[in-house]
Chain A
């Protein structure tokens, strides 16, 4: 396409501009450059005339650029004369004439200020999250008390439904994951302990590690990713579609109807899954030991000596607390979801990350606690 869109000629202080071709969105980029160079030339001219007769098509982009030129000429103290404008484009030009009259205040940007603001908001956000989590714990406790006083209001069906989803259906993946973990720990242990000729202590290591820490922690992390995120997404999209508000207006407490059954299901399911997971890990470890030449009888006998009931209890006691953390964080995040799809994604991510972080913190606190009571 060779048409120049805007022919510029400057003679004796008279700037004559002749428009041609299609002044439309497709050519707007080229046209803008022509318009801006014409505007620059207009400063050294005394009169400016814009002939629009040759224009074939004009849309909002073209009309706006013409208006921009007219304004640029006007701001240079001259007056632009638009002549020969086809009648059918008059309304459009009027529209462009009215546009962009109020200056849009560009948002202030200051890199240092912005960084400080982000830091400050982040800090306040962490504190606010902690307050919200504590608050949710309190509200759940109150809801639980209410249900204990009036047990018939407890949503039994819903709880069983969630128990099926977060408990029963999670069994295969938990079994597989912890089984493999047990295999890997045993293999690594044997590999290194063999150098000192104390392979048999692998059983001690696996037994204590799995029962006290790995079994429950890994299961909890898996459940945070699998069920915590689902809880957040469910509650979040219900919040987005005003379903939670609908429950409130019908006189239901969303906490009692939605949060409590999910939380109870999680508190029941996680210890069970942690137990199943620990057993699978020990089984995997036993299999690997057999591969490396330790007979199952020796493995079991050694395991019996190596671990005590305390080790098992330490792991199991932690499980329901971790379930509570997952459930409460997931509910808090779910109810924080705002209107947009983006916030649903952000809160779901935050739910999993915060739950895992808090669980590991909790695990550390438990380790100190159990050490000081000698368990």
Chain B
């Protein structure tokens, strides 16, 4: 516990002005286990926030709690200035339209083609002509670096990297303001992962996205994240830029950012 106090000199280090997502004292978990206990975090509009932590520490739980897939036990979550859990069904649907989620394994609908997968949110939320949906779906697929010939394929015919790209295109289908990415580069080779990183960066710039990203990938953190939040001991122990992380004296943060794998990266 001493170590935590030394790395968080100010209690409000996680606060930013005009946050798009604001999490305060969040308690969450499943069954009888409490995974998160008193998590507080702000995500600023237009930034890419990377969330790191040891395996099983609750990064995905945090993401799933924010988007409402897991119920929270205490604390407040405000997204776009409203608490999703307190909204009525209609307002909640409108809110969900403004964010997109990329699941770790893509979660593409296996019975639909790639085109239908990307069009699915449009079809359900908007009233658009078929032609426009087709054109926008292809445009989205091209934006994530796929060619138009994947349209009629089914998810089982795609490689892991392509599944992630299609899933990203689907998450972006309605031009959301926030995208949640759950380990976007896991399972990709370093070249594919680097391409995916630059893709996220480009999309964030062109579409003005806010990105909340759960990741294990040090390269991703270096390449794209504006700020990094570290989850340990059921809490966000430190938030800041890469420089802050490298200066941190918390044993886990040190081991993570200054361990052998990260050193190898900087030498290379």
In this assembly, does B69 line the interface, its C-beta being within 8 Å of a C-beta of chain A? Answer: no
Taking a contact as CB atoms closer than 8 A, the residue among A91, A95, A339 that contacts B110 in the complex is A339
The answer to whether A60 and B207 have CB atoms under 8 Å apart is yes
A131–B45 CA distance with the chains assembled, in angstroms: 61
A24–B173 CA distance with the chains assembled, in angstroms: 12
The answer to whether A104 and B148 have CB atoms under 8 Å apart is yes
The answer to whether B128 and A28 have CB atoms under 8 Å apart is yes
A51-74 interface code vs B (CB 8 A; 1 in, 0 out): 000000001110011001000000
In this assembly, does B241 line the interface, its C-beta being within 8 Å of a C-beta of chain A? Answer: no
A339–B125 CA distance with the chains assembled, in angstroms: 28
A182–B139 CA distance with the chains assembled, in angstroms: 65
The answer to whether B174 and A25 have CB atoms under 8 Å apart is yes
A219-232 interface code vs B (CB 8 A; 1 in, 0 out): 00000000000000
Taking a contact as CB atoms closer than 8 A, the residue among B125, B140, B147, B154 that contacts A60 in the complex is B140
CB distance from B206 to the nearest CB of A (A): 4
The answer to whether A29 and B135 have CB atoms under 8 Å apart is no
In this assembly, does B162 line the interface, its C-beta being within 8 Å of a C-beta of chain A? Answer: no
The answer to whether A25 and B139 have CB atoms under 8 Å apart is no
The answer to whether A29 and B128 have CB atoms under 8 Å apart is yes
The answer to whether A59 and B110 have CB atoms under 8 Å apart is no
Taking a contact as CB atoms closer than 8 A, the residue among A60, A68, A338, A342 that contacts B175 in the complex is A60
A102–B152 CA distance with the chains assembled, in angstroms: 15
- In the complex, what residue of chain A is closest to B206 when comparing beta carbons? A91
Contacts of A98 in B (CB 8 A): 142
In this assembly, does B58 line the interface, its C-beta being within 8 Å of a C-beta of chain A? Answer: no
Known pairs A61-B175, A88-B208, A338-B156; A99 contacts B110 (CB<8 A): no
CB distance from A99 to the nearest CB of B (A): 4
B201-220 interface code vs A (CB 8 A; 1 in, 0 out): 00001111000000000000
B135-159 interface code vs A (CB 8 A; 1 in, 0 out): 1101110110001110110111000
Contacts of B136 in A (CB 8 A): 28, 60-61, 64
Contacts of B155 in A (CB 8 A): 339-340
The answer to whether B205 and A91 have CB atoms under 8 Å apart is yes
> Which B154-191 residues have C-beta < 8 A from chain A?
154-156, 172, 174-175
A220–B34 CA distance with the chains assembled, in angstroms: 48
The answer to whether B143 and A95 have CB atoms under 8 Å apart is yes
In this assembly, does A116 line the interface, its C-beta being within 8 Å of a C-beta of chain B? Answer: no
In this assembly, does B55 line the interface, its C-beta being within 8 Å of a C-beta of chain A? Answer: no
In this assembly, does A26 line the interface, its C-beta being within 8 Å of a C-beta of chain B? Answer: yes
Contacts of A95 in B (CB 8 A): 139, 143, 206
The answer to whether A340 and B111 have CB atoms under 8 Å apart is yes
In this assembly, does A96 line the interface, its C-beta being within 8 Å of a C-beta of chain B? Answer: yes
Contacts of A92 in B (CB 8 A): 206-207
Contacts of B135 in A (CB 8 A): 64, 68, 99-100
The answer to whether A100 and B154 have CB atoms under 8 Å apart is no
Contacts of B143 in A (CB 8 A): 60, 95, 99
Chain B interface residue count: which class? 20 to 34
In this assembly, does A4 line the interface, its C-beta being within 8 Å of a C-beta of chain B? Answer: no
The answer to whether A29 and B126 have CB atoms under 8 Å apart is yes
Known pairs A59-B207, A339-B156, A340-B155; A25 contacts B175 (CB<8 A): yes
Known pairs A92-B207, A338-B156, A340-B156; A100 contacts B139 (CB<8 A): yes
The answer to whether B154 and A340 have CB atoms under 8 Å apart is yes
- In the complex, what residue of chain B is closest to A62 when comparing beta carbons? B175
Contacts of B174 in A (CB 8 A): 25
Most chain A beta-carbon neighbours within 10 Å: one of B134, B135, B207 = B135
Contacts of B125 in A (CB 8 A): 25
In this assembly, does A341 line the interface, its C-beta being within 8 Å of a C-beta of chain B? Answer: yes
- In the complex, what residue of chain B is closest to A67 when comparing beta carbons? B139
In this assembly, does B129 line the interface, its C-beta being within 8 Å of a C-beta of chain A? Answer: yes
A119-130 interface code vs B (CB 8 A; 1 in, 0 out): 000000000000
CB distance from A23 to the nearest CB of B (A): 11
> Which A35-62 residues have C-beta < 8 A from chain B?
59-61
A127–B152 CA distance with the chains assembled, in angstroms: 28
- In the complex, what residue of chain A is closest to B208 when comparing beta carbons? A88
CB distance from A66 to the nearest CB of B (A): 12
- In the complex, what residue of chain A is closest to B203 when comparing beta carbons? A95
Contacts of A293 in B (CB 8 A): none
The answer to whether A24 and B128 have CB atoms under 8 Å apart is no
Contacts of A59 in B (CB 8 A): 175, 207
Most chain B beta-carbon neighbours within 10 Å: one of A59, A107, A341 = A59
The answer to whether B132 and A28 have CB atoms under 8 Å apart is yes
Contacts of B207 in A (CB 8 A): 59-60, 92
In this assembly, does A32 line the interface, its C-beta being within 8 Å of a C-beta of chain B? Answer: yes
In this assembly, does B90 line the interface, its C-beta being within 8 Å of a C-beta of chain A? Answer: no
In this assembly, does B127 line the interface, its C-beta being within 8 Å of a C-beta of chain A? Answer: yes
Contacts of A29 in B (CB 8 A): 126-129, 132
A29–B140 CA distance with the chains assembled, in angstroms: 18
Known pairs A61-B175, A91-B205; A102 contacts B148 (CB<8 A): yes
Give A contacts to B, CB under 8 Å: 24-26, 28-29, 32, 59-61, 64-65, 68, 88, 91-92, 94-96, 98-100, 102, 104, 107, 338-342
Give B contacts to A, CB under 8 Å: 110-111, 122, 125-129, 132, 134-136, 138-140, 142-143, 147-149, 151-152, 154-156, 172, 174-175, 205-208
Query: Please, could you name 24 A-B residue pairs with CB atoms under 8 Å apart, sorted by A?
Result: A25-B122, A25-B125, A25-B126, A26-B126, A32-B129, A32-B132, A59-B175, A60-B140, A61-B132, A61-B175, A64-B132, A68-B135, A88-B208, A95-B139, A98-B142, A99-B135, A100-B135, A100-B148, A104-B148, A104-B151, A339-B155, A340-B154, A340-B155, A342-B110
Shortest Cβ-Cβ A-B pairs, 9 listed? A340-B110, A339-B156, A99-B139, A59-B175, A342-B111, A91-B206, A104-B148, A92-B206, A99-B142
